[in-house]
Structure 1
Amino acid sequence: MELEPCSSSPERCKVCGDTGNGMHFGAFTCRACAAFFRRAASRKFLRKCENHLIFALKCKNCRLQRCYEAGMSSENFQFCRDLIGAKGAIPKLKVPKSFEQTVGRPYFVLQCDPEVLFLRRNIIDCVPLLEKAEKLIEFGSESPVFSKNRLLKLAQGLQQFQDAKSNQVKFVQKMGQKEIMSFFETDFLCATKWFTYLDEFQFLDKNQQLTLMQGIWHVWSRLHKLAVSAMGRRRGICDKNTVMVSHQNEFAVCDLNEIEVDMSWCTNFSNEQMRYFLDTSHDSYVYQVMDEMLGLKPNDVELSYMMCQLCLQYAGQRFQGEILEFCEKMLGFLADDLHSYYVKQLRMPNYAARLAKLMKINNRIKESVLKTRQRQQIAELFNVWTVDFSHPEFFRDA
């Protein structure tokens, strides 16, 4: 087939004869023919045209054949030059990475060997402790307590705890695995024993009792430590820079600023790297709430209500279901008992202002629990701890 010769003028397109634009893929053409060739040259279905005796611009086969005859070649394609297409889009400006982003590790663990992040974790068995708690629940309160209402009975139980402690004081200068686990066991068992003075607690089934205590022991112990420390300051046992806690059959006193903490048993990071998780001396609530406790001097009845309100409200929000119903029911009963105590025994009908101050202390402790939860989430994110517990619900928010 003979094709009509195109214009040889350098200003004309060698394919269609229209005004040329420049060199495209090896031939002088217009933009339209250049765009056509770029699209058509990669299509396999376009073959040599046998239908037209002369060149027909509207025929894709004729036009493609003319492109080849003009010297256009697909080998001259330059991809990714189009600024509009997806592949040729203008690259976004990259923000320089920080050193932490470059190495993929947070600031406080930059100096740690990456291999320590993925070592096998040790498991601490909590079953023996749960068995001790189960025996305490079955045994009930140590001696029969007869009171007018639930709140007064709890207050008597709290008083028995304090009377059982000796006057000897132990100063704790180091806190390692042995000391930490011992304090944990003491707090958990004391909280469990104290709740046995609440009659309705005995009506829960065994699993619900243990679940409830695993969830609230650390909340109970926060308020109990503050109460014991305030008592120690009033008696001159400890000063404003120390905290006193009830430990087994004695009182333990420690200075949060000076105590030596050994965390090598549960993490591979140094104390300096773990400062964010270990440093309690800068938790402002510890000393500020202590001053508020000293000023208010809550008695055993008020302190018992504070503990119940703090623990049961936290447990209701955490567990829901039957435990939530139990907690709400108990909070209602105990609020009635507190009202009766203020009005009938203390002759204090206008107790709202004092109660608000007591609840302010509870709210500060709740804020501290929330901060602990946030720190725990960050620790889990960066795999900080090298130990796990057989019952991890023990240490949620603890």
Structure 2
Amino acid sequence: MSSDPSTSPNLCSEKSEASGSSENSECSNEDSTCRICELTAHGVHFGVASCRACAAFFRRTIVMSRTKKYKCRGGHNACAVNTSDRYQCRLCRYNKCVVMGMTAENVQWNRDPFPEARKRKDKDSEDEEDRVPAKRHAFPPPHLLITKPKRIVDVTILSGKIQKILNDKKIGDHPKLKKMNNLERLEHALKEWRMKQKPEEQMEMISKLTIQEMFSMCEDQMLVIATWLSHCPYFQKLESPEKYRMFKVVWNVWRRFERVEMSVQMFGRKTPGHVMKFAISDKYYVTPKLSIDISKITDWPLSATFMGGLFRDSVRKMFEQTGVQLAYLEPTSMEMAYMLSQLSWQLAGQSLQGKVMEIAEIQQEELANNLHNHYLQIKRRSNYAGRLVKLMSVVNIVKRLQMERKITIELANNDLHSKYHCKSCRYKRCVTLGMTPENVQRYRDSFTTPRSQEKRKKRISVENLDQPYELKGKPKQVIDVSSTKKDICEILKYKSTSPESEKMNKLELSEYALREWRNKQKPENEMKHLVILPIIKLFEIFKKQMFVVARWLSYSPDFQKLQEDQKYQFFKLVWNIWRKFERYQISLEMFEDEAITHEKFALNDQHLVTIALQLKFSEISDETDEKLTKCFRDVWRSMFLRIAKPLQDLKPTSTEMAFMLSEMSWQIAVQRSGFIGKSMQGSVLELSEKVRDELADNLHSYYKTNGNSLNYAGRLIKLTKIVNSLINFHAELKNRMEIVRIFKVFTVDLSEPDLYDI
């Protein structure tokens, strides 16, 4: 070793030389800095001014031949080597030693006082973090994943073929297309692809697939999708790099959605729920028993089973959430081309922004006009509102599934070799791979909470709370909200009515109930500006708004058809997102641009807040107020920015706002009916379809009477896009709150779970 780590720093180089020390160099100044870790150096060791720890590390690495066994914790061979991290990346630390000039020439071998057996034991103990117990073979040892250099699959030829098609303007100039509008061109391209589809009796079932065969099928379909995109005149307005980027964003989700719809069309309505035959190409179909061999691209054990499971889950989700609706709707090829185009341009606009988003807006406006003409002139159908809303809800589900899939892929690409995982990503990966909390055993840990932590916990004083909030069992810190639940259920129990509302249709009833609440709204000059807001005070504001939402729901005659427990579960699912959306829209209406620039927000009918708001969480959490305020403010801001511009541009009427609130509520109830119980799924789904159809008919009548135009397709699509953005955000918020609960951010629980999601 360059010098014994226990040797006093005052010893000079003569002593180092006598012990066969490193490098026969002079002792550097005590104030000099170690060129490896930036601590104080204690001489020149192995040719570099360094501290004893780095010198000992370098010698140990050389003597024990560890250079090939070190793995980069960050995965990029670029970890910082300094004093900020107690556990430094050994590979990057060794590489820095070499870069700084350390050499192995003066390393002394066989000078350790301990025997070889002990050396091996110590070596094993130091490297034990790199080992995974042999019995746990569901995931491979990390070294299997990174010791072999990754092979690069050359797709240059394929990329060239795709880009050649994307930039081929002759495709769009074909004589057949000259008299076709935008949507008709896309339908023509879709039909050309589907004409190659073999009938069911001629298709072959595949039970096993190699990764090469899977890639080959995907490559063929990539060329089909590139050709389809090239038929769009607006796509041709993009620059070549933008075309290729858009293609990469949309091709896979386009392929999966088109194949699901074709499978439902070919194999019948039973396909989504029972048979689940999936037309993977124009010649082959697969079932849930499919096994995919990916051994050529991974060292994971059981890879075929694992990938088959991922594929099966992906197809199952798509079938379950879109297949039933597709089977019910039976979309025409024109409607399918419309949905594929909406899906493609929405995803591309969100992902690429800039010019792509600008063109996407124009493209979608023209497509809406084309679809209106199709319904009016070809189908002789002027009342298409209900059908269009349902088509757009299918598009939204596919978008949401694509975002979830994207998150899954990002998680799969996370560095799994680090000793310290990101807790949030690790939890998401557990859920993605199928872990469920159903069989979790609680209160079985052998350890107790440290006393220091108990002392830090803040207790909520009953005197500081209003009567509805009482502590049930101080050790568990449970807030009793049973009286709030009782009041809500009492409102939901009976249908609200008035002489004015007796002859109203369902949309008019919804709008009447909304106006009943908004008539209480104070003007801005009479509202109180809140700067500091204790969380318990916010809960009180929420409580009053719960009663508003409950009363609004109680006006619906269809809502009254649900059982009492179903009404309450329905209410819990929708009240908070209803509150947020209604308040965002009224804030834009009242404060206009200041709602965005100053984040001015009408919290209720009497109070407003701005970006200066500081929430006080001390009564329910040990985290700092600043940290939690920022966390929840970022969530609110994220949602607001998604819908602010569309809402400003649309300036929805009170009737349109009532339609959006109703559509959003019933969609959420259907999509999350699994959280309510299987007994509710069928009844809510059936009732929801009926309600949404009637609401759409009522909206058509409204446009016919007040809109001065029956070409409302473009406006209706924008309304549904706002609704769909809110539904997606609602799902994200639920996931975020679940993570908050998992990591016990709050020191209290509610007697009624999920009632207050901030």
Measured in 1, the distance between the counterparts of 2:690 and 2:452 equals 51
Q: Does 1:213 align with 2:571?
A: yes
Matches within 5 A, 1:237-256: 240-245=597-602, 247=604, 250-255=605-610
Aligned to 1:52: none
Q: Does 1:115 align with 2:453?
A: yes
Amino acid at match of 2:710: P
Aligned to 2:582: 224
Aligned to 1:305: 659
Aligned to 2:722: 361
Q: Does 1:263 align with 2:631?
A: no
* Aligned partners of 1:313 and 1:328 also within 8 Å: no
Measured in 2, the distance between the counterparts of 1:352 and 1:358 equals 10
Q: Does 1:136 align with 2:491?
A: yes
* Aligned partners of 1:225 and 1:246 also within 8 Å: yes
* Aligned partners of 1:117 and 1:383 also within 8 Å: no
Aligned to 2:482: 127
Measured in 2, the distance between the counterparts of 1:293 and 1:325 equals 30
* Aligned partners of 1:242 and 1:253 also within 8 Å: no
Residue 330 of structure 1 and its aligned partner are, at CA, apart by 1.4
Paired residue for 2:669, among 309, 315, 326?
315
Residue 301 of structure 1 and its aligned partner are, at CA, apart by 0.9
TM-score under structure 2 length normalisation: 0.36
Amino acid at match of 1:216: V
Question: Is the alpha carbon distance of 1:92 and 1:205 closer, same or farther for their aligned partners in structure 2, counting shifts above 3 Å?
Answer: closer
Name the stretch that deviates more: 340-349 or 225-234.
340-349
Question: Is the alpha carbon distance of 1:101 and 1:188 closer, same or farther for their aligned partners in structure 2, counting shifts above 3 Å?
Answer: farther
Q: Does 1:151 align with 2:512?
A: no
Matches within 5 A, 1:318-337: 318-319=672-673, 320-337=681-698
Measured in 1, the distance between the counterparts of 2:635 and 2:736 equals 15
Q: Secondary structure at the match of 1:165?
A: coil
* Aligned partners of 1:238 and 1:253 also within 8 Å: no
Aligned to 1:381: 742
Residue 81 of structure 1 and its aligned partner are, at CA, apart by 12
Aligned to 1:170: 528
TM-score under structure 1 length normalisation: 0.66
Question: Is the alpha carbon distance of 1:361 and 1:380 closer, same or farther for their aligned partners in structure 2, counting shifts above 3 Å?
Answer: same
* Aligned partners of 2:510 and 2:555 also within 8 Å: yes
Question: Is the alpha carbon distance of 1:92 and 1:204 closer, same or farther for their aligned partners in structure 2, counting shifts above 3 Å?
Answer: closer
Amino acid at match of 2:482: V
Measured in 1, the distance between the counterparts of 2:752 and 2:700 equals 38
Q: Does 1:181 align with 2:539?
A: yes
* Aligned partners of 2:704 and 2:710 also within 8 Å: yes
* Aligned partners of 2:129 and 2:419 also within 8 Å: no
Measured in 1, the distance between the counterparts of 2:729 and 2:537 equals 23
Amino acid at match of 1:252: H
Measured in 2, the distance between the counterparts of 1:149 and 1:268 equals 50
Amino acid at match of 1:133: I
Measured in 2, the distance between the counterparts of 1:101 and 1:134 equals 49
Name the stretch that deviates more: 127-136 or 303-312.
127-136
Question: Is the alpha carbon distance of 1:382 and 1:91 closer, same or farther for their aligned partners in structure 2, counting shifts above 3 Å?
Answer: closer
Question: Is the alpha carbon distance of 1:118 and 1:336 closer, same or farther for their aligned partners in structure 2, counting shifts above 3 Å?
Answer: farther
Paired residue for 1:197, among 555, 564, 569?
555
Measured in 2, the distance between the counterparts of 1:281 and 1:171 equals 21
* Aligned partners of 2:491 and 2:551 also within 8 Å: yes
Identity of aligned residues (%): 21
Q: Secondary structure at the match of 1:242?
A: coil
Which protein shows a greater Rg? Answer: 1
Question: Is the alpha carbon distance of 1:351 and 1:139 closer, same or farther for their aligned partners in structure 2, counting shifts above 3 Å?
Answer: same
* Aligned partners of 1:116 and 1:268 also within 8 Å: no
Residue by residue, what CA displacement relative to the aligned partner does 1:209-249 show, whole Å, maximum 9, x if unpaired? 12211221012112111111012125x996741333363xx
Amino acid at match of 2:496: S
Amino acid at match of 1:200: D
Aligned to 1:291: 645
Q: Secondary structure at the match of 1:124?
A: strand
Aligned to 2:64: none
Q: Secondary structure at the match of 2:538?
A: helix
Measured in 2, the distance between the counterparts of 1:152 and 1:117 equals 56
* Aligned partners of 2:495 and 2:556 also within 8 Å: no
Residue by residue, what CA displacement relative to the aligned partner does 1:1-47 show, whole Å, maximum 9, x if unpaired? xxxxxxxxxxxxxxxxxxxxxxxxxxxxxxxxxxxxxxxxxxxxxxx
Q: Secondary structure at the match of 2:601?
A: strand
Question: Is the alpha carbon distance of 1:183 and 1:142 closer, same or farther for their aligned partners in structure 2, counting shifts above 3 Å?
Answer: farther
Aligned to 1:57: none
Measured in 1, the distance between the counterparts of 2:497 and 2:529 equals 28
Residue 126 of structure 1 and its aligned partner are, at CA, apart by 2.1
Amino acid at match of 1:336: D
Question: Is the alpha carbon distance of 1:105 and 1:93 closer, same or farther for their aligned partners in structure 2, counting shifts above 3 Å?
Answer: closer
Question: Is the alpha carbon distance of 1:251 and 1:242 closer, same or farther for their aligned partners in structure 2, counting shifts above 3 Å?
Answer: farther
Name the stretch that deviates more: 370-379 or 293-302.
370-379
Question: Is the alpha carbon distance of 1:301 and 1:92 closer, same or farther for their aligned partners in structure 2, counting shifts above 3 Å?
Answer: closer
Amino acid at match of 2:614: E
Residue 288 of structure 1 and its aligned partner are, at CA, apart by 4.7
Question: Is the alpha carbon distance of 1:105 and 1:323 closer, same or farther for their aligned partners in structure 2, counting shifts above 3 Å?
Answer: closer
Residue 186 of structure 1 and its aligned partner are, at CA, apart by 2.0
Q: Secondary structure at the match of 2:754?
A: helix
* Aligned partners of 1:212 and 1:323 also within 8 Å: no
Measured in 2, the distance between the counterparts of 1:279 and 1:116 equals 29
Amino acid at match of 1:254: V
Question: Is the alpha carbon distance of 1:162 and 1:189 closer, same or farther for their aligned partners in structure 2, counting shifts above 3 Å?
Answer: same
Question: Is the alpha carbon distance of 1:217 and 1:204 closer, same or farther for their aligned partners in structure 2, counting shifts above 3 Å?
Answer: same
Amino acid at match of 1:153: L
RMSD: 3.8
Measured in 1, the distance between the counterparts of 2:704 and 2:626 equals 53
